[in-house]
Amino acid sequence: MQFRPRRFRLGLLIGSAFVAGALLGPATGFLPHASAQAATNAEDYRLLTLFGEVFEKIRAEYVDPPNDKELIENAINGMLTGLDAHSSYMNAKAFKDMQVQTKGEFGGLGIEVTQDNGFIKVVSPIDDTPAARAGMKPGDLITAIDGKTVQGLTLNEAVDKMRGPPNSKITLTVKREGVDKPLEVALTRETIKIQVVKSRMEPDGIGYVRLSQFSERADSELKNAVRNLKQQNGGKLRGLILDLRNNPGGLLDQAVAVSSDFVDQGEIVSTRARHAEDSQRWNAKGNDIIQGLPLVVLINGGSASASEIVSGALQDHHRAVLLGTRSFGKGSVQTVIPLPGNGAMRLTTARYYTPSGRSIQALGIQPDVQVYESREEPPRFGPEREADLNHVLSNRGGTGEKALPPRTDLPPIVKDIPSRPPEGFPKFDPTKPDETDFQLQQAVVVVKAMAAQKSASAN
C-alpha cells in the first residue's frame, strides 16, 4: 500500500537535531556522546569511501565497459531491497508506469507481483486480463521470461520485460504448488483497463460486489455499484457481499474511503512511523451506504495491504462477518518519494494498525468464519504470504495476534458452515461462480441468515 507522494520534514528534523546538539553538547558536558557520534561519522565516511573504491574498480577493470548510470541505480536498488520486501528504487520509466497503474489503466499482462528468493512471485492476477485468463494463480513463482531466467533481475527489470506492445507474445515459466514440472504459460499482452468493481444480484435480494484493487476509482465505483444494485432490486437490498479475495491493495486514501462506506464513525486505521510526529490516524468520514444491512466480506491469502485495512476495520467495528482464509499479512506503508532525475523510491515508512491496535504485519487477518476454496489444500512451494518473504519487516507495537476477543455477535448459522467443500464439488469456474465458488456459496448462506435475523428482531 502506498501513500500519495508527500514531502517529509527532513529539513526541519535535521536542522533541529543539529541545533540541539550544538547547544546541549557543550553545556551539559556530553563528551562521550559526542565522541560516539564522531566515531559513527568516521565509520560512515569509511564505508562511503569503500563504495567509491568499488565503483572505480568496476569502471576500470570489469571485463566490459559498464554503464555508470546502471551501476548507480543498481546500487541504490540494492540498498532499498535489502531493507524489506517492499522498498525499491524506480527509474523515471518505472515511476511513470506506477503513476499510470494507480489510475487503473496500464499496459502488460495484468498481474501483481513481488520478488523473493530471486524469483518473481505472483500476489494476484487482475480480473479479465491475460494473466487471469491464462490461469495464473496467487503464489505462482515466475522463474523465467521467454526462456531466460529472472534471477539476477530486479523486480522493476522483470516487470519491464513482462510489459510490451499490445498483441505481442510472451511466455512465462512458472513453478506452482502441487505441480512437479514447471509450467509454460503463453500470453498475449494487452492494454490493461482495469474494471475495478464488478457487481451482480444474488438470489433473495442479496447484492454482490467484487473490488479487484484500490485504484483512484475504487470508492466512487463501489458506491455506483451499490446504487445500481438497489435499483435492480426495487430500491433496496437485504444484504451485501463484498469480495476482496486476491485484491492486492493500492491507495491508502481509497482503503479509508471504502471502509467509511460501511462505518459511520470511529477509527479506520492508524500508522506509526519512526518519528512520532509522522504517525497518523484516519477516522470514518462517510455514511453507511447500505444503512446497517448485513455485510459479509470474502478474503483469502491474496487479499493484501489496503484489503486488509478494510477487512480489519470492518471486523474490529463488528460491522461485517469475514469469511474465507487468512489474508496475506502486509501491514506496512510505503511512501513514494520523488527523486532528482524524475525517478522515485518506494520506501517503507510506517506500520499500520487496525482500530483495536492490531498490527497484521506478517500475521494477516484471520476470518471470523474459515472456509477453504477447495477440499484439499495443495502442498506449498515457496512463499505464500508476507511472513514467507525475505527481509520481512517485524511485527511490533501492536496488541498481538490473539488480542481481539472472540466475537459474540455472529449469527448461529456460522457453527454449521462447513470449512471445506463436499466430495465431488466441481472445480472452480469463473464463468459459473454460483455453482463452483464454494466460499461465495457459504457467504450467501451467512448473509441470508443475518438478514433473516435482522428482520425477525425488527418485528
**Among all residues, which ones are annotated catalytic?**
305, 316, 330
C-alpha cell at 164: 510490451
120/113 Cα distance (integer angstroms): 6
CB under 8 Å to 84, separation ≥6 — which residues? Answer: 332, 348, 391, 392, 393
- Between the alpha carbon of residue 259 and those of residues 50, 219, 317, 404, the distances in Å are 49, 9, 10, 19
> Are 257 and 220 spatial neighbours (Cβ–Cβ below 8 Å)?
no
Which phi and psi angles does 97 have, rounded to 5°?
-60, -40
Written as one letter, the residue type at 40 is T
454/459 Cα distance (integer angstroms): 9
299/322 Cα distance (integer angstroms): 7
243/354 Cα distance (integer angstroms): 19
99/5 Cα distance (integer angstroms): 10
**70-93 b/e with 16+ CB inside 10 Å = b?**
eeebeebbeebbeebbbbbbbbee
